[in-house]
Amino acid sequence: MTEIALFHHALGLTPGVVAFADTLRAAGHTVHTPDLFEGKTFATIEEGVGHAQEIGFGTVMERARQAADALPSELVYLGFSLGVVPAQMLAQTRAGARGAVLCYSCLPFTEFGESWPAGVPVQIHGMDADPYFADEGDLDAARELVASTDDAELFVYPGDQHYFADSTLPSYRPEAAELLTQRVLEFLAAND
């Protein structure tokens, strides 16, 4: 089965993020969930992003890099929102990446290189009216990434929620979350 480094969103390593990891584990995958906030969790995106700014995004990225360095190089990198930044960076720059799953966010692939790496499949998930995903450039970046490689899929769900697959939050949308989970499991099975 696949080994995965899963990076949490701006609320921290919430029970919902852990539950998603546990779903992947139940399917036979090995999932590592580094805590980039060292035990802190937050009630709002603004508070979580504020914490990331306070400790420095460089610190967040370094914690992710150190966590990955302690793991085998043949990983699928999975990120939720803020966690997409280290997941995408590691998928594009760390040798041996088996794939990337980017949920609720996507950076222009040129942030980490001239092109998306050959042989590294990527799946991107977000809602069509999510103000963070659709209105802040992430959806455009996702479309550009998909257009740049034959190994990318973009799944856009109807709705305006950001953390729609975190089962412990009010933004949770069961139908979309179930479809996202199914697609992630298919991706992992195909790239095992």
Write the CATH number for 53.
Answer: 3.40.50.1820
Q: Average pLDDT in the 170-187 region?
A: 98
Q: Is 142 exposed, middle or buried (0-12, 13-18, 19+ CB in 10 A)?
A: buried
pLDDT at position 1: 86
**Averaged confidence pLDDT in the chain:** 97
Query: For 136-168, how does the pLDDT look when each residue is reduced to its tens digit (9 = 90+)?
Result: 999 999 999 999 999 999 999 999 999 999 999
pLDDT at position 46: 96
pLDDT at position 191: 84
pLDDT score of 187 more than 90: yes
pLDDT score of 192 more than 80: no
Sign of the dihedral through C-alpha 102, 28, 168, 61: negative
Domain count, the chain: 1
pLDDT at position 159: 97
Task: List CB contacts of 67: < 8 A, sequence separation 6 or more.
Answer: 5, 32, 34, 36
Nearest to 4 by CA among 89, 92, 101, 88: 101
Q: Average pLDDT in the 108-137 region?
A: 96
Structural domain span for residue 142:
3-190
Sign of the dihedral through C-alpha 5, 55, 40, 66: positive
Query: For 43-102, how does the pLDDT look when each residue is reduced to its tens digit (9 = 90+)?
Result: 999 999 999 999 999 999 999 999 999 999 999 999 999 999 999 999 999 999 999 999
pLDDT at position 29: 97
pLDDT at position 186: 97
Distance CA 8, CA 137 (A): 20
Total count of residues recorded for the chain: 192
pLDDT at position 11: 97
